[in-house]
Structure 1
Amino acid sequence: MNHVLLIAVGNIGFRHFQALLNCSSSFDLYVVDFDDSAITRAKLYAADNANGRLIYYYSSLKDIDVPTAFHTAIIATSSIPRRAVFEELISLHTVKNIIFEKVLFPRVEDYLHVQTLLDKGGIAAYVNCIRRTADVYIALREELAAAKKIFFSMRGGDWGLACNSIHILDLFAFLTGAENPAVSCSGAMLEDKIFESKRSNYIEFYGKLVGKLNEQSLFSIDCIHGQSAAEIEIYTDATYYCICESMGTILSQPLDGSKPADIRRFDLLPVSQTTNQVVDQLFSGQIPKLTAYRESADLHVPILQEFIKKRNALIEKEEDLCPIT
């Protein structure tokens, strides 16, 4: 079963494609995208970067006659078609591992439905929230393990609250060290306006999400208008942290002033340099550092419910979805 499938090779899918060409594992790569321009771009890139790997291109899943079994599939579509694409995939082919892009789905009902199908098929599934794979955050998680109380805050400008808040909440959940923390969330401070997303047919919000990750951890996620570098602040009962990913710095300061502030530097790898690591881990039989599907679904749903509530109030209709991706 030395076959890997990439569904959608435009946008973030192209970053996955770049990474897959740098995997050390031996496999043939199958790429599916209905967009001819995305396929053409991938072919042009692969002409100089395939590293001897066999690559097959298709415009639909139905066009793939062999193989019928994939070791790993990456579903990098936008959120609205993702459930249907997943259902078509498992109806036509056997899959051992699936990596989903986020935002997973636009409807709450999709999350349990897909989990049921994953369980039925014995498929291991993960969501591509990559901050928790970074060494800097793995080390910070260990530092925070002794904290009795933690307050997480993220604030920045024009960073895409609806699209990217799951990345931030996933990081906060990871840093608590808790397995499947219970999440409650409020979108009462979201702005009373729907904005167009940079992706066609999707929307965005500005404003603030606040909530709890468990009884010991609180969070605030804020997106303001205008270009402003995002900062993550973490307050524990003993230490204050300020993280600026764009500058690659973490400042830490004991609250009792017993030590001077310490500044550490770090680099976060892009998807084009992380997916290869994840796929190689899967081929070697390891559990990857990505978020497991079930845990990610539990983080997605409270946020999605708040976005659905806000959108329904603004459009003055009761709908069961929010088109975010």
Structure 2
Amino acid sequence: MKRAYVSALGIMGRRHVVGLVRKGYHVDCFDPSDAAHEALAADLERNTLDKSMVQRVEAGTGAYHAAIFTEHADLRFGNVERFLGAAQAERVLLEKPLSSNPDEVEAYAGLFAQKGMSDAQISGNFTRRAWAPFHRLKAICDTADQVHMSVHGGAYGIGGNGIHHIDLFLYLTGDRATDVSNVELFEPTIRSGRGDRFVDYGGTFELRNDRGMMRNLCVPTSSVAPLVMITGENFSAIINERTLEWELAVRKPESSLPPYRCGADYEVIENGVMDYLPMDHVSGLWAEGEIELPNLSTILTAHRLLHECLEKAGVERPFRYT
């Protein structure tokens, strides 16, 4: 029998359970909220999945093929530590961010090492690395001398969601050593829908490495979804994160026009809604080894850059995003 464990049944956690049950897993679910378990039962019924495949537990016990942790960022490290004290898993998936406390982020490697788990057994849910459109875009980026990325949007939050953009930049530029500069946070802080103990941050920063640079602008008083542009010498990708529509254009190889003609000899090779992986499929595919998500050492890099941004802006540890 294939066993999995899911910690916390918010929207994301319930999607993970649906994906695991769809792949034939018996799932032990931890969440102290009766309402969360009722919502999960409704989600399973809506997807015509067998509710008997799911069991409510107070803690994980025994051996699991996969364990997924989806709770608020300030609770995740403690829940992982508690799980590892009584159970074990062949693979662990951690929702982003790993923690809003940089000290806990750095402690994860030692925590898993104590259980004899390797870096490769731990994955982070930076799913853009598993999307086919970004695989195709990376292949184009690999041909460019320099890659430039800009992110412009409203109150999506640098901490809770902006870390995805940081990781995408790292992925598209080959996970090179990267520096943070020109950090400025804006007022007010961003309210969280997950409770008064959380806030997030808007502002601007730059990342640079030897393959390119990224500029981020997050406006805390705006409700606009992020617009992302990624360019090289002879290509452009524009992504609307509200609709997940995109346009990927490249310069015609036979073009002899000079660069100042501003895209006159470009052709669109892809457009429309990206063929992305919905979250209620990612977890099951990951558990079965049908897709790969970045390992612990890879996802630590994005967290460190995020924390460097906040510290350069004068935000005190521990942070309060989730």
Scaled by the length of structure 2, the TM-score of the pair is 0.86
Deviates more, 1:84-93 or 1:216-225: 216-225
| Matched residue, 1:57 | 56
Q: In structure 2, what residue type is equivalent to 1:186?
A: S
Taking the TM superposition and a 5 Å limit, the aligned residue runs for 1:69-88 are: 69-88=63-82
Q: Write the distance in 2 (CA, Å) between the matches of 1:78 and 1:85.
A: 10
Cα distance 1:80–1:5, how it changes in 2: closer, same or farther (>3 A)? same
Q: CA deviation at 1:174?
A: 1.4
Kept in 1, the 8 Å contact 2:91–2:287? The answer is no
Q: Write the distance in 1 (CA, Å) between the matches of 2:298 and 2:42.
A: 37
Q: In structure 1, what residue type is equivalent to 2:229?
A: E
Instruction: Write out per-residue CA displacement over residues 262-305 of structure 1, whole angstroms, 9 at most, x where no aligned residue.
Output: 15232323212322221222xxxx6x421111110111112123
Q: CA deviation at 1:6?
A: 0.4
Q: Write the distance in 1 (CA, Å) between the matches of 2:285 and 2:248.
A: 28
| Matched residue, 1:41 | 39
Instruction: Write out per-residue CA displacement over residues 239-264 of structure 1, whole angstroms, 9 at most, x where no aligned residue.
Output: 23322242522232438447333152
| Matched residue, 1:107 | 101
Cα distance 1:20–1:216, how it changes in 2: closer, same or farther (>3 A)? same
1:277 aligns with 2:274: no
| Matched residue, 2:210 | 215
Q: CA deviation at 1:143?
A: 1.1
Q: CA deviation at 1:229?
A: 4.0
Q: Write the distance in 1 (CA, Å) between the matches of 2:45 and 2:191.
A: 36
Cα distance 1:166–1:146, how it changes in 2: closer, same or farther (>3 A)? same
| Structure 1: runs of 5 or more not aligned | 313-318
**Aligned counterpart for 2:199 among listed residues 194, 203, 206:** 203
| Structure 2: runs of 5 or more not aligned | 252-257
Q: In structure 1, what residue type is equivalent to 2:192?
A: S
Q: Write the distance in 2 (CA, Å) between the matches of 1:136 and 1:250.
A: 11
1:249 aligns with 2:242: no
| Matched residue, 2:168 | 171
Q: In structure 2, what residue type is equivalent to 1:272?
A: D
1:95 aligns with 2:89: yes
Taking the TM superposition and a 5 Å limit, the aligned residue runs for 1:227-238 are: 227-238=223-234
Q: Write the distance in 1 (CA, Å) between the matches of 2:11 and 2:267.
A: 39
Q: CA deviation at 1:47?
A: 4.3
> SS of the counterpart of 2:193?
coil
> SS of the counterpart of 2:159?
helix
Q: In structure 2, what residue type is equivalent to 1:291?
A: P
Kept in 2, the 8 Å contact 1:194–1:311? The answer is no
Q: CA deviation at 1:171?
A: 1.3
> SS of the counterpart of 2:287?
helix
Identity of aligned residues (%): 20
| Matched residue, 1:316 | none
Q: How many residues align?
A: 304
Kept in 1, the 8 Å contact 2:124–2:293? The answer is yes
CA RMSD of aligned residues (A): 2.2
| Matched residue, 1:10 | 10
1:116 aligns with 2:122: no
Kept in 2, the 8 Å contact 1:183–1:299? The answer is no
> SS of the counterpart of 2:161?
helix
| Matched residue, 1:323 | 320
Q: CA deviation at 1:122?
A: 3.2
Q: Write the distance in 1 (CA, Å) between the matches of 2:245 and 2:190.
A: 30
1:302 aligns with 2:301: no
Q: In structure 1, what residue type is equivalent to 2:38?
A: T
Q: Write the distance in 1 (CA, Å) between the matches of 2:127 and 2:66.
A: 17
Q: Write the distance in 2 (CA, Å) between the matches of 1:15 and 1:39.
A: 13
Q: CA deviation at 1:221?
A: 1.7
Instruction: Write out per-residue CA displacement over residues 173-222 of structure 1, whole angstroms, 9 at most, x where no aligned residue.
Output: 1112x2x421222362221432322221111111212112x212211122
1:30 aligns with 2:37: no
| Matched residue, 2:148 | 151
Kept in 2, the 8 Å contact 1:30–1:55? The answer is yes
Kept in 1, the 8 Å contact 2:17–2:27? The answer is no
Q: In structure 1, what residue type is equivalent to 2:206?
A: V
